[in-house]
Amino acid sequence: MAIWIGEAGGIRIGRPASERVYTTINPSDVNTGSKRFGFQDLASSLITGDRIWIRRVDDQGTPVAGLLDFVDASGWSDSTQRNDGQWYVNTDAVGGIRLFSTWQAAVQNRVADAITLTVPASSYRVSYELVRDDDDYLAQTVS
């Protein structure tokens, strides 16, 4: 519910941080040509512009040293693959996800700007959660 007091101001649209969601990434989930992947029907909790933190985890949900090899090394600012990373997402109507380095790029959804993906060597467990610390203005009202 929104409460408006005064004559002018801005509306900030943001999302709270989320609990971790656990899923499996399979080689068949990744389409390298369209730089798109899916999380087996779990992506419905994501909306375009969300910044998510993806981690590679074991069966108990503990982070492990294995790399997120479905994300190309160019997806990290230092071009070094890691076992976790944070990206902005663009989600489509069927749950497909593209990763982007900026919120603006995620909203624009140009394939050329998306993070390059690679087919993972095997299936493995990952977790993802929303990162909450940088809400973006989507609209502003002045009067």
Residue 78: C-alpha distances to residues 85, 105, 135 (Å)? 12, 19, 25
37-65 pLDDT tens trace: 998 756 567 889 999 999 999 999 999 99
Tell me the pLDDT band of 99, cut-offs 50, 70 and 90.
very high
Average pLDDT over residues 21-28: 94
74/24 Cα distance (integer angstroms): 22
103-133 pLDDT tens trace: 999 999 999 999 999 999 999 999 999 887 6
Query: Is residue 139 situated within a structural domain?
Result: no
Half-sphere exposure of 39 (CA within 13 A, CB side): 21
Query: Is residue 46 situated within a structural domain?
Result: yes
Residue 108: the pLDDT is 96
The residues, any chain, with a CB within 8 Å of residue 119's CB and separated by 6 or more, are: 27, 30, 32, 70
Query: Is residue 53 situated within a structural domain?
Result: yes
Q: Which domain holds residue 107?
A: 16-133
Query: Is residue 44 situated within a structural domain?
Result: yes
Is pLDDT at 138 greater than 60 in this prediction?
A: no
Q: What is the DSSP code (8-state) at residue 116?
A: P
Question: How many folded domains does the chain comprise?
Answer: 1
Average pLDDT over residues 70-83: 97
